[in-house]
Amino acid sequence: MEEAVAGEPLERKLSALEELIQSPGHLRVNVQGAFIADEISWLDGTRHDISDIRLPRHTSVVSHVALDIGGSLAKLVYFSREPNSKELGGRLSFVKFETDRINQCFEFIKQLKSKQTALNGSKPNELVIIATGGGAFKYYDEMKAILGLEVLREDEMECLIMGLDFFITEIPQEVFTYSEADPMPFQQPRTDIYPYLLVNIGSGVSMIKVSGPRQYERIGGTSLGGGTLWGLLSLMTGARTFDDMLALADKGDNTKVDMLVGDIYGSDYSKIGLATNVIASSFGKVFRKKREGEKAAEDGNGMSNGDRADVEGNDKLDLAFAPEDISLSLLYTVSNNIGQIAYLFSEKHQLENIYFGGSFIRGHRQTINSLTFAVKFWSGGKKKAFFLRHEGYLGSVGAFLKRQPKNWGRRNSFEERFGS
């Protein structure tokens, strides 16, 4: 990595000393020279690299972890000193848990708590949880009781944009665009970032217009988000995890279930500018095919409409649609829809750059491709879709960094942008 540790050892030690004498409430996270620790790996079309971020210049005690508890996932960010004592600095690590198994998350934090001295040089009981997301409210009492630690809550949207700003401005090889020719051309860290639209895709989708430091507004959103995809796919396919569903989608052919323009017209309907392979109706082939099959298979087995979903009995009638095809179609449906609505809100608010964050994306190539395509298609190539390697951790990183003191940084600091 080009951005390795630089500067005089003595200078760094003095700097560390200075950091150490800060009050615990004024922790300083030195993000200078931060970089992503590991190489990128694409596996089966999906990026598997929620890599640590190295903070080579940060040496002071860090006595907090940050936790963003969403509707489906809880995202944790914590700091640890480099275990190799020859290196100064430390690293940010990223872990996620299912919100329904939030106790696993609390158990993990308990372990971090017990190891604080080794990890950070602080005492276990000094650990503070900076919590954000809906669960920061919902699980507040439980969290405090189980962990026996102080819990500070931070506003979700503020954390999201602080986290995003950090990734955009400070971390090389973090932000990228997508094209089939070059799947991950990285953007250099930049400072001229405003205004932009943040589309945060979790269980649902929030769209936030960011005009400047701490100038933001939730301008829209849609309830068709990750929760919709995972929920419907868990009803319709045998897949039990997000990754299983994405793996299915990778093998799917959506034209088996989607109705294309060509299926309706038989040829291009050039007058409205739609090519035959454009999806006219997502899942538009299912109803007709299913009825055809049922008609053929009907033998008076007495099924009635009042039956519950689980006795629907596809197996008996052999009318199955492949879970691969269903998965890809639904992935396209949800992604295209988010991309289109993001475009429309960006158009309404005259925003050219759209950053897609949130746990839904999971570095999945087809998802990223689909969001990129929708923005490009609807904007006629005028608007740009950006993605992040740590897309799911905007809120938790933002919460982690919100404990910045006023005097922390030199170049292009959060302080300049966010104030205290």
Interface of this chain with a copy of itself, residues 252 to 281, rule: CB under 8 A: 257-259, 261, 263-267, 269, 271-273, 279-281
Q: What tokens were used for 31?
A: 């993000």
Q: Using CB under 8 A, which of the segments 14-22, 121-129, 243-251, 403-411 binds a copy of itself?
A: 243-251
For residue 412, give Cα distances in angstroms to 30, 198, 306: 12, 21, 63
For residue 349, give Cα distances in angstroms to 31, 195, 206, 218, 335: 32, 10, 15, 12, 21
Alpha-carbon span 77 to 393, nearest angstrom:
8
Q: Using CB under 8 A, which of the segments 8-16, 22-30, 88-96, 335-343 binds a copy of itself?
A: 335-343
129 contributes a contact to a copy of itself by CB under 8 A: no
42 contributes a contact to a copy of itself by CB under 8 A: no
For residue 178, give Cα distances in angstroms to 47, 80, 137, 151: 13, 32, 36, 38
377 contributes a contact to a copy of itself by CB under 8 A: no
Q: How far is the CB of 277 from a copy of itself (least distance, A)?
A: 12
297 contributes a contact to a copy of itself by CB under 8 A: no
Q: How far is the CB of 128 from a copy of itself (least distance, A)?
A: 22
Which member of 199, 319, 371, 397 binds a copy of itself (CB under 8 A)? 319
Which member of 192, 310, 381, 419 binds a copy of itself (CB under 8 A)? 310
321 contributes a contact to a copy of itself by CB under 8 A: yes
Look at the block and give the residue holding tokens 């989708």.
Answer: 205
Q: Which residues contact 400 (CB under 8 A, 6 or more apart)?
A: 29, 64, 65, 66, 77, 79, 92, 130
397, 156 Cβ separation under 8 angstroms: no
User: How do strand 128-132 and strand 150-153 relate by DSSP bridges?
Assistant: parallel
Measured in degrees and rounded to the nearest 5, phi and psi for residue 97 equal -135, 155
184 contributes a contact to a copy of itself by CB under 8 A: no
320 contributes a contact to a copy of itself by CB under 8 A: yes
152 contributes a contact to a copy of itself by CB under 8 A: no
21 contributes a contact to a copy of itself by CB under 8 A: no
For residue 78, give Cα distances in angstroms to 66, 108, 355, 407: 7, 11, 24, 22
The single-letter code of the amino acid at 299 is D
Say how many residues touch a copy of itself, by CB under 8 A. Answer: 97
Q: How far is the CB of 299 from a copy of itself (least distance, A)?
A: 15
395 contributes a contact to a copy of itself by CB under 8 A: no
Site for a copy of itself in 154-183 (CB under 8 A): 155-157
215 contributes a contact to a copy of itself by CB under 8 A: no
Cβ atoms < 10 Å from Cβ of 91: 20
99 contributes a contact to a copy of itself by CB under 8 A: yes
Which member of 180, 192, 311, 420 binds a copy of itself (CB under 8 A)? 311
118 contributes a contact to a copy of itself by CB under 8 A: no
Q: Using CB under 8 A, which of the segments 34-42, 110-118, 167-175, 228-236 binds a copy of itself?
A: 228-236
User: How do strand 35-36 and strand 53-55 relate by DSSP bridges?
Assistant: antiparallel
Q: Using CB under 8 A, which of the segments 44-52, 53-61, 89-97, 329-337 binds a copy of itself?
A: 329-337
User: Sheet of 384-388: strands edge to edge?
Assistant: 175-176, 384-388, 353-357, 196-201, 205-212, 215-222
